[in-house]
Amino acid sequence: MAIGLSVGAAAFTAFFSLALNRCVRIDVAFSGYVFATREVLGVSRIIEKIVGMSDFGLRKVIVPTGNTAQIYAHEREHPEDFGNVTIMPCGSCLEIINAGIF
């Protein structure tokens, strides 16, 4: 897990959005470390991030595939924590692009 690099997925999406001249939906958030091979790697403190995104009113959260076991285990024990957020695991930059973010 990468510590402090979870902004990579959001930064990638911002640059891709700029290149396409298309706006990203305002109700989507991102977390994930983007590796040089365009893989999206797991990050630390993902549960806290999702809870914060839910509290802020976001509807969809793009998370690293590497964090899914941790996320789903928490969701089973505390289903109320994530509110109405749709959690979408992505393992690559291509999956982020295809996740319906535009």
CA distances from 56 to 12, 49, 87, 89 (A): 22, 11, 15, 20
Write the pLDDT tens digit of every residue in 68-98.
999 999 999 999 999 999 999 999 999 999 9
Write the pLDDT tens digit of every residue in 12-55.
999 999 999 999 999 999 999 999 999 999 999 999 999 999 99
Question: What pLDDT, on the 0 to 100 scale, is given for residue 5?
Answer: 83
The CA distance from 38 to 95, in Å, is 10
Could you give all domains of the chain from N- to C-terminal order, each with its CATH number? 8-97 (3.30.230.10)
Does residue 9 have a pLDDT over 80?
Answer: yes
Point out which residues pair with 62 in neighbouring strands. Answer: 30, 88
